[in-house]
Structure 1
Amino acid sequence: MQDRLLLSTRKGLFTLARGSGGSWDIEQVAHLASPISITLCDPRDGAVYAAVTHGHFGAHLHRSRDGGVSWQEIAAPSFPAGEVVPQRMPDGDADSTAGPPTKPATLSEIWALEPGGRDEPGVLWCGTIPGGLFRSDDYGDSWSLVRSLWDREERMQWFGGGKDDPGLHSICIDPTDPRRVKVAVSCGGVWASDDAGAEWRCASEGLRAEYMPPDQAYNPIVQDPHLMAACLAASGCLWIQHHNGIFRSTDGAKSWREITAAQPSAFGFAVAVHPHDPETAWFVPAQKDETRVPVNGEFVVSKTTDGGASFQVMRQGLPQGHAYDIVFRHALTVDDAGQCLAMGSSTGNAWVSEDAGESWNHVAQHLPPIYAARFAPEGYGVASE
């Protein structure tokens, strides 16, 4: 049973703790009034990392080794001088040699943080806006741009999806072989490496972008995955909540299949995958594009247990009628047992389910907009120096 939940919000990092009677209360607030884009609890040593976005002052990274009681600012990823990013969405001619206009690459947001393998102490991976992938080998004290991905010619065809610049928001590390790394970019598709990032291949085959001209709908470079997640026990099985649908791979992202049975819609931002059952995944559906509110004002979670052949719509404990909560990319999470889930919304509400999503308990309200939700690992707060 989970007893602590970290909520990264527009105005700080909130730690919710389960009380003796089963209620959840705010136990701790860190970085109050600062936007926290993502948080990582490293299960290998208990360290907590918080990405802070300071408006005029840019993106910063902080680390805590005492469960969030105190924080140390550490190095933030930075782009070398002279690096550029494209400024516009490509037209239908993906092979144009003219190339898009560019602007200097400057870190605006840290959008993904993931630990390396169990036997790689100190290794961290970071995804940014603009769409860079960075690696640290010293617990975040320094970072290196993964140039093998950044220097790909195809990167200049990436464009901003949901943000003004391309954003690398998903990093999946194979727990059986940490050299196998997969990332997803909005908009830039899926990329995979089998050698810890030395070489990369585009892994978007089968993804479909209905916002592109018909002859470019399956262009692998311009896909807009909203989030990609893998099953920990079957890392070759991955799920994507895409801008215009849900997609699944069972061959390690060599190919993707569109899931069409989702109800009440296939649009959304978040996806959580059962850690032991690759057939089971959860989504938070909404109406897409200009609307982006729950379908018919009914806030629900959809779940499949058969690989996307069918979906169950779950609403017990969730607001129905005139509900306008949206769950952002990283704001839905599942625990290591696949039984306890949590999610936070754009309107500062948070819910926890202890029965795999069948019912939900409203555990917080009136918080700032919630960007990310993660359960704290067992032993949270007792990391050693």
Structure 2
Amino acid sequence: MGAKTILLVGTKKGLFLLESDADRRDWELKGPFCEMWPINHAIVDPATGVIHAAGGNEWFGPAIWRSDDLGASWSHSSRGLAYAAGEEPIKAAWSLAAGHGRLYAGVDPAGLFVSEDGGASFAHVAGLQETPSRPEWTAGGAGLILHSLVLHPDDPNQVWVGVSAAGVFHTADGGATWSPRNRGTRADFLPEGQNYPDHGQCVHCVVMAPGRPNRLYQQNHCGMYRSDDGGVSWTSVERGLPSSFGFPVAAHPRDPERFYLSPLNGDIAGRFMPDAKAAIWSTGDGGATWTAHREGLPQRNAYFNVLRQAMATDRHDPAGVYFGTGSGELYASRDEGATWTRIAEHLPTISSVETYVVED
């Protein structure tokens, strides 16, 4: 059976779509969409086939865009995307997750909203704001943003969120109450002796391993981590990597031991590819060992970065792996990261990459 492969590429100047077949050799670029609003993240709801795109900034305000026809037409809504009168206004919508008939949106300043009507309107999940540590949350370099949203595949009451720079939090009761999930992750920027706090870590990205809901992977400002108990505790898996600093993580679609990341040369050393030589690193044993994949990627003058939501995998076999750069280049691998091809260039700064496979 044939299939259409779609990449959703969020940029600082709108959303772009790239389309190919199951072979993924030739790509057609479409866009920009969403009236060239800054788009921080875009997904397809697998239950409906609807595209949702989160965006905005201080000038536009927040909005969630929607397309029911794979990009042919668009609408957007910001209904309900607001805190109570007198509170700091929402600057932008930053992250999305769809599941169990709901659409979740993370925003800046950090908060969580949920829609029960496909993104037409949203309600504030106030329990996160009522977390006892909330007054102590501080902004990361990009602001105080809720950028990682992980839904339990079977239990609609369980959600994990990642907030920079507050840490990972989990709810088991649909958002009424939340608990920090940061034990074992460092905060090197804090004074000596205070490097493993209950909260205050600068988490960069959190993803779930396929078929194993309690297995989470996290790229942090201060290390790379794995959890086998739903984030209750974390183990460092950065040994063998060229750096403990990076932004995105992407899980393999079927193998819970395999995931991908893009280390950068350090938080204060430029935040580009180590030695200016591009590589995507993968592990096939849960982070015990690592392999660098370089074939097809630039090995000199690669002074670009990859942002926290700008890496993804598809569900083909072999799986495709994709990443976008801050300089507007998009790279694709048809063989699980072994070799790479540049499939787009000269795009605006790429904020996010997601995939969707449509069966014919």
TM-score normalised to structure 2 length: 0.94
1:79 corresponds to: 83
2:67–2:74 Cα contact (<8 Å) kept: yes
Q: Specify the code of the residue in structure 2 equivalent to 1:362.
A: R
| Counterpart selection for 1:114 from 93, 97, 106 | 97
Report how far residue 213 of structure 1 moved.
Answer: 0.8
1:205 aligns with 2:209: no
| Counterpart selection for 1:279 from 251, 257, 264 | 257
Gap regions ≥5 residues in structure 2: none
1:46–1:379 Cα contact (<8 Å) kept: no
Structure 2 residue matching 1:296: 3-state secondary structure: helix
| Counterpart-to-counterpart distance in 1, 2:359 and 2:124 | 32
Report how far residue 277 of structure 1 moved.
Answer: 2.0
| Counterpart selection for 1:41 from 37, 41, 44 | 44
Structure 2 residue matching 1:14: 3-state secondary structure: strand
1:180 aligns with 2:163: no
2:15 corresponds to: 13
Q: Percent identity?
A: 34
Structure 2 residue matching 1:239: 3-state secondary structure: strand
1:46–1:377 Cα contact (<8 Å) kept: no
| Counterpart selection for 1:196 from 163, 168, 174 | 174
**How is 1:128-207 mapped onto 2 (pairs within 5 angstroms)?**
128-164=107-143, 166-207=144-185
| Counterpart-to-counterpart distance in 2, 1:61 and 1:217 | 37
| Counterpart-to-counterpart distance in 2, 1:300 and 1:43 | 30
User: How well do the aligned residues superpose, as a CA RMSD in angstroms?
Assistant: 1.8
The ranges of structure 1 where at least 4 consecutive aligned residues each deviate by more than 3 angstroms after the TM superposition are: none
Q: Specify the code of the residue in structure 1 equivalent to 2:332.
A: V
| Counterpart-to-counterpart distance in 2, 1:201 and 1:212 | 21
Q: Deviation per CA, 1:151-185, whole angstroms, max 9, x where unpaired?
A: 12201111111223x11111111112121111111
1:53 aligns with 2:56: yes
154-163 vs 32-41, greater mean Cα deviation: 32-41
Query: Alpha carbons of 1:296 and 1:53: their partners in 2 closer, same or farther (altered >3 Å)?
Result: same
1:124 aligns with 2:103: yes
Structure 1 residue matching 2:59: 3-state secondary structure: helix
Q: Specify the code of the residue in structure 1 equivalent to 2:17.
A: T
| Counterpart-to-counterpart distance in 2, 1:275 and 1:174 | 15
| Counterpart-to-counterpart distance in 2, 1:315 and 1:203 | 34
| Counterpart-to-counterpart distance in 1, 2:119 and 2:113 | 10
Report how far residue 33 of structure 1 moved.
Answer: 3.3
Q: Specify the code of the residue in structure 1 equivalent to 2:322.
A: A
Report how far residue 303 of structure 1 moved.
Answer: 0.5
329-338 vs 215-224, greater mean Cα deviation: 329-338
Query: Alpha carbons of 1:241 and 1:2: their partners in 2 closer, same or farther (altered >3 Å)?
Result: farther
Alignment size in residue pairs: 354
Q: Deviation per CA, 1:184-233, whole angstroms, max 9, x where unpaired?
A: 11111111111211221111111111011122210121001100000131
TM-score normalised to structure 1 length: 0.88
Report how far residue 149 of structure 1 moved.
Answer: 1.1
1:41–1:376 Cα contact (<8 Å) kept: yes
| Counterpart selection for 1:68 from 56, 64, 71 | 71
| Counterpart selection for 2:231 from 245, 250, 253 | 253
Report how far residue 81 of structure 1 moved.
Answer: 1.3
1:356 corresponds to: 336
1:334 corresponds to: 313
Q: Specify the code of the residue in structure 1 equivalent to 2:42.
A: T
